[in-house]
A and B are shown apart, each in its own frame.
Chain A
Amino acid sequence: MTEISASAPVGTDNDATRPKRRDIGIKRRYAAENRFRALGIGAVSIAVLALVFLLISILSNGLSAFRQTFVAFDVTLDAAVLDKAGNRDPAEMAKVTTIGYGNLLKKALAADLEARGVSTEGISSKEIAGLLSKEAPAQLRNRVLADPGLVGQTISFKTYATGRIDGYYKGRVTMESAALDSNVSPEQLTLADRMRGAGMLTVGFNTGFLFGPDASELRPEAAGLGIAILGSAYMMILVLVMSLPLGIAASIYLEEFAPQNRFTDLIEVNINNLAAVPSIVFGLLGLAIFINFAGLPQSAPVVGALVLTLMTLPTIIIATRAALKAVPPSIREAALGIGASKMQAIFHHVLPLAMPGILTGTIIGLAQALGETAPLLLIGMVAFVRDFPAAPPEGFFDPAAALPVQVYNWTQRADPAFVERASGAIIVLLVFLFLMNLIAIVLRRQFERRW
């Protein structure tokens, strides 16, 4: 009481100044309000811009990987060089190594340049041959050994230009940088321009990048993603086959049958914690248990798939349980009411209704697994693999690469052309992820039911 009566005169005393002070206060408070709002907008835009910048950076670096510079010219396959015995027996012809084919290509390219009237003044014959990829002799050799009848004929042969020439047409290599580069000279670049004018040198879509095997450090132009895509596909198939039944069985038990007790609690705590364990720890698990203890082969898709299955299982279980929970109890009760056993009610009624949700969760889990790199590094998927794995099921045990690991692999190489390849591989990876998520969204839109 005393307080109020004491403070009242103070208020009336300041009556004249009060409206003014309130005005200032409101202005200040509204300014603070606007600042806060602007901060929020700023934060959202920074996040969105970061995403856009990330995608633009990857796209601008990687799109050129899908285009490649090719050299096409006529090669006369001299029988005296390639098949000394003259019996066209592939086993005997295999004695001619890539060095022999390299010399043949060198001569053929020089001859074809002369025939087409492309001047080669001031360029040594070694430099002319240096325009061709180091992969070219092996390509020609494989083609001849596959079809010995070609010997003696003149065929038109199309092969990669070296990474530096390719880089010249993609803006990575310039005349100035070539003058300083021991791998390419400005004269070679001008010759390449003349060859382009004569139609011998073309820039086109590079199917080898999508379907070919990886190539060694010195021939970035021939490096492809074929084995990595196949390896990733093998792993995804195995992950799907292993994780979907396991995940559904575990979720049905936990959601529909499990009594509330310590054992069930233990399982739930474990699932939640596994979802947050760093992925590299799963790699250590795979190395210690699947490779060192169980003796499974290194670099094999089956080991990668086992590790990725254990990693994605929590995601799939959490999604499946949510889908099962979303099916209203009336469905179960109706089934039980007309005499179905609990198992029948679940398998005949609840599970089919929950299936779209389960599949959506599974696809998102698979997409996560597809992009996972760290655990695969530890189980030896970084190894250089040149041979395609066999068809399943043996192929699951053959050495293979995986898409994200291939990206990492390429970034570790010295030649700048591999940066473009790595970004191109990322684009391929993102396209796969986009497609998988699209399928998940379509599934959800198409089949989702609201009760």
Chain B
Amino acid sequence: MNTGLLVLAVLVIAIAGFILGRRHSLVTANGDIRNLHSLPGYHGQSVFIFAAAPALLLVCVWLLAQPLVIESRVSSMIEPSDIPSGSTLGLVMADVRRISDGLDVAVAQGALTEAQIDNMRADLTDVRSRLADVGIAVGSNVSQNVFLAAKEFRALNGIGRIAMAIAGLALALAGAAFAYSRITPRYRARNVSEGAIKALMILSSTVAILTTLGIVLSLVFETVHFFRLYPAQNFFFNFTWNPQFRGGSDLGIIPLLWGTLYVSFTALAVAVPIGLLSAIYLAEYASSTVRSVAKPTIELLAGIPTIVYGLFALITVGPMLRDYFAQPLGLGSSSSSVMTAGLVMGIMVIPFISSLSDDVINAVPQAMRDGSLGLGATRSETVKKVILPAALPGIVGAILLAASRAIGETMIVVMGAGAAAKLSVNPFEAMTTITVKIVSQLTGDTEFASPETLVAFALGLSLFVVTLGLNVVALYVVRKYREQYE
């Protein structure tokens, strides 16, 4: 019985429990709803919850625990002599799983029967070619011990599945019966079902914590794994980035960090003046009609997916910069460059700066403006001498948030900045960033356990720490500022 069907069966039992419980509550109240503490629907819900929740929880735990238990039992069957030189227990176990899956497929296709599998011996029949017939590829020739382990694995899995189905269904029925038997007119069914719903809501709200935990744990775990294969001081202080897929790579983060900061700085150099000036214009000068058109238009820039900007950089901005600036000035002949990526990313970042600055400028109390204008200052003097100083912390916060956005941006740099890790100051040269290398190290065909692949997680962790730091500082600055005027 597969898991989907089991879950469905549990739900069917729970729904039946709901209907029966609802009816039963009315019966216990002699058909008069006024005798009940809770409405009949709540009695039904309480039965539903007792039937479904424990059973589904059991299935979840079982699904997580079963592979662990079976792996440990089966892997103890494999002798050290069964592991070919250069291979590991993990690879052999992968073969065991694949053979076991292959036998399932063979039975499903009718190529083998259960009795045949029981009698099959790896030293007498060629298991590998028989499995290849049904479309399952096994890495190496199958030894008898491995084949026995695979058969054991398959048998245990079969037993586990059946046991899980029986246990799940029994628990669902028991839960339903228990809740059903508790139904009396005075039973506080509403409190029970509301408690369960509240528990569910608390559980949902912890998803955010779990996600953060998942990110941190997976990044830290793989990074530690990486540092065991590649020394940490080389990663942080090596000035070359040169991955070799045959080993002996140089994986220094410094050129990537330089590229990232250079591109982000270019982006901010474009976005900060434009974003800030347009925020000031829209907040202080523009008529309400201009504002109502221009503000959403600029914010539209934030709603465009970054892949669109990436394509824009690749097919329009890159070639244009190359033909009109880089080549005539003799600065380079590459269409992907720091300038291309920085310019396009700057356009993308404008709305982050302009909307946030707009908010903080509007939050400056009107009295300060009126005071300044009343003393005879012009509008621009008021902006420069009164509003900007008052709004400065918020604007700094906005710039920090934009910087964190620029540093973590991927598609624009993947398509616009290039792939060569270089330490150069020429903005028309192709350089690369942390995010580009995360993508390129993980989309190739490499073994997952090699340092060249795992370095992506170390890069990801560095990225996560930097952006998180920027965000925390930015939020702190913005919050502190808000307190001043509220």
Question: A311's closest neighbor in chain B, by CB?
Answer: B211
Complex CA gap A158/B298 in Å reads 46
Question: Is A48's CB under 8 angstroms from B298's CB?
Answer: yes
The yes or no answer to A119 lying at the interface (CB within 8 A) is: no
- Scan residues 256-287 of chain B and give those whose CB is less than 8 A from a CB of chain A: 273-278, 280-282, 285-286
The yes or no answer to B115 lying at the interface (CB within 8 A) is: no
List A residues at the B interface (Cβ < 8 Å): 29-30, 32-33, 35-37, 39-44, 46-48, 50-51, 53-54, 57-58, 61, 245-247, 249-250, 252-254, 257-258, 266-267, 270-274, 276-285, 287-289, 292-293, 310, 313-314, 317, 341, 343, 367-368, 370-374, 377-378, 382, 393, 404, 407-408, 411, 419, 422-423, 426, 429-430, 433, 437
List the one stretch of B178-186, B199-207, B238-246 in contact with chain A. Answer: B199-207
Question: Is A44's CB under 8 angstroms from B281's CB?
Answer: yes
Question: Is B475's CB under 8 angstroms from A44's CB?
Answer: no
Question: Is B205's CB under 8 angstroms from A284's CB?
Answer: no
Question: Is B212's CB under 8 angstroms from A273's CB?
Answer: yes
Complex CA gap A404/B304 in Å reads 12
List the one stretch of B25-33, B102-110, B378-386 in contact with chain A. Answer: B378-386
Can you list 5 residue pairs at the A/B interface with Cβ under 8 Å? A47-B297, A53-B316, A267-B209, A285-B215, A411-B314
- Scan residues 330-358 of chain B and give those whose CB is less than 8 A from a CB of chain A: 347, 350-351, 354
**Which of B305, B309, B312 touches A429 (beta carbons < 8 Å)?**
B305
Question: Is A284's CB under 8 angstroms from B401's CB?
Answer: no
Count of inter-chain pairs, beta carbons less than 8 A: 251
Question: Is A287's CB under 8 angstroms from B442's CB?
Answer: yes
- Other contacts beyond A51-B297, A277-B467, A288-B222: 18, CB < 8 A: A33-B380, A36-B380, A43-B278, A44-B298, A47-B297, A50-B347, A246-B204, A247-B204, A267-B206, A270-B212, A278-B467, A284-B442, A285-B214, A341-B194, A377-B442, A408-B307, A429-B305, A429-B307
Complex CA gap A421/B304 in Å reads 19
Question: Is A270's CB under 8 angstroms from B208's CB?
Answer: yes
| Contact A40 to B464, CB < 8 A, known contacts A270-B208, A276-B471, A314-B208 | no
| Contact A37 to B281, CB < 8 A, known contacts A51-B300, A371-B305, A382-B443 | yes
Chain A residues near B201: list those with CB within 8 A.
249-250, 252-253, 257
Chain B residues near A58: list those with CB within 8 A.
308, 311-312
List B residues at the A interface (Cβ < 8 Å): 4, 190, 194, 197-198, 200-209, 211-212, 214-215, 218-219, 221-222, 273-278, 280-282, 285-286, 294, 297-298, 300-301, 303-312, 314-316, 347, 350-351, 354, 378-381, 383-384, 401, 404-405, 407-411, 414-415, 435, 438-439, 442-443, 448, 456-457, 460, 463-464, 467-468, 471-472, 475
Chain B residues near A39: list those with CB within 8 A.
277, 281
| Contact A280 to B285, CB < 8 A, known contacts A43-B274, A57-B315 | no
Question: Is B383's CB under 8 angstroms from A404's CB?
Answer: no
Question: Is A374's CB under 8 angstroms from B435's CB?
Answer: yes
Q: How far is the CB of B129 from chain A (nearest CB, A)?
A: 24
Question: B205's closest neighbor in chain A, by CB?
Answer: A250
Question: Is B211's CB under 8 angstroms from A43's CB?
Answer: no
Question: Is A430's CB under 8 angstroms from B308's CB?
Answer: yes
Complex CA gap A274/B475 in Å reads 13
Question: Is B408's CB under 8 angstroms from A44's CB?
Answer: no
Chain B residues near A281: list those with CB within 8 A.
215, 219, 408, 460, 463-464
Interface SS of A by simple majority: helix
Question: A285's closest neighbor in chain B, by CB?
Answer: B215
Q: How far is the CB of B11 from chain A (nearest CB, A)?
A: 15
Complex CA gap A30/B379 in Å reads 10
Q: How far is the CB of A237 from chain B (nearest CB, A)?
A: 17
Question: Is A373's CB under 8 angstroms from B198's CB?
Answer: no
Question: Is B306's CB under 8 angstroms from A253's CB?
Answer: no
**Which of B305, B407, B456 touches A278 (beta carbons < 8 Å)?**
B407
Question: A412's closest neighbor in chain B, by CB?
Answer: B415
Question: Is A37's CB under 8 angstroms from B316's CB?
Answer: no
| Contact A40 to B285, CB < 8 A, known contacts A33-B378, A274-B212, A289-B214 | yes
Question: Is A43's CB under 8 angstroms from B308's CB?
Answer: no
Question: Is B435's CB under 8 angstroms from A40's CB?
Answer: no
| Contact A280 to B463, CB < 8 A, known contacts A36-B380, A47-B354, A51-B297 | yes
> Which of B281, B308, B456 counts the most A-chain CB atoms under 10 A from its CB?
B308
Chain B residues near A245: list those with CB within 8 A.
204
Chain A residues near B274: list those with CB within 8 A.
43, 46-47
Question: Is B298's CB under 8 angstroms from A47's CB?
Answer: yes
Question: A294's closest neighbor in chain B, by CB?
Answer: B64
Complex CA gap A252/B315 in Å reads 46
Complex CA gap A203/B310 in Å reads 30
Question: Is A378's CB under 8 angstroms from B278's CB?
Answer: no
Question: Is B298's CB under 8 angstroms from A411's CB?
Answer: no
Question: Is A273's CB under 8 angstroms from B277's CB?
Answer: no
Chain B residues near A278: list those with CB within 8 A.
407-410, 435, 463-464, 467
Chain B residues near A411: list those with CB within 8 A.
310-311, 314-315, 415
Question: Is A57's CB under 8 angstroms from B312's CB?
Answer: yes
**Which of A44, A274, A288, A313 touches B278 (beta carbons < 8 Å)?**
A44
Question: Is A40's CB under 8 angstroms from B410's CB?
Answer: no
Q: How far is the CB of B298 from chain A (nearest CB, A)?
A: 5
| Contact A378 to B380, CB < 8 A, known contacts A48-B298, A54-B347, A343-B197 | no
Q: How far is the CB of A230 from chain B (nearest CB, A)?
A: 18
Chain A residues near B273: list those with CB within 8 A.
43
Question: Is B467's CB under 8 angstroms from A271's CB?
Answer: no
| Contact A374 to B282, CB < 8 A, known contacts A276-B471, A313-B207 | no
Q: Which 5 A-B pairs have the closest CB atoms?
A: A278-B408, A371-B305, A40-B281, A288-B218, A43-B277
Question: Is B304's CB under 8 angstroms from A54's CB?
Answer: yes
Complex CA gap A411/B200 in Å reads 45
Question: Is A43's CB under 8 angstroms from B281's CB?
Answer: yes
Question: Is A36's CB under 8 angstroms from B208's CB?
Answer: no
Complex CA gap A65/B130 in Å reads 47
Q: How far is the CB of B42 from chain A (nearest CB, A)?
A: 10
Chain B residues near A313: list those with CB within 8 A.
207-208, 211
Chain B residues near A53: list those with CB within 8 A.
316
Q: How far is the CB of B409 from chain A (nearest CB, A)?
A: 7
> Which of A245, A246, A374 counts the most B-chain CB atoms under 10 A from its CB?
A374
Complex CA gap A341/B204 in Å reads 21
Chain B residues near A250: list those with CB within 8 A.
201, 204-205, 207-208
Question: Is B281's CB under 8 angstroms from A273's CB?
Answer: no
**Which of B315, B411, B435, B471 touches A423 (beta carbons < 8 Å)?**
B315
Complex CA gap A47/B308 in Å reads 16
Question: Is A276's CB under 8 angstroms from B467's CB?
Answer: yes
Chain B residues near A341: list those with CB within 8 A.
190, 194
Chain B residues near A41: list those with CB within 8 A.
281
Complex CA gap A278/B435 in Å reads 9
Q: How far is the CB of A120 from chain B (nearest CB, A)?
A: 37
Chain A residues near B381: list those with CB within 8 A.
29, 32-33
Complex CA gap A121/B460 in Å reads 62
Complex CA gap A50/B309 in Å reads 11
Chain B residues near A429: list those with CB within 8 A.
305, 307-308
Q: How far is the CB of A223 from chain B (nearest CB, A)?
A: 16
**Which of A32, A50, A270, A284 touches B438 (beta carbons < 8 Å)?**
A284
Chain B residues near A292: list those with CB within 8 A.
448
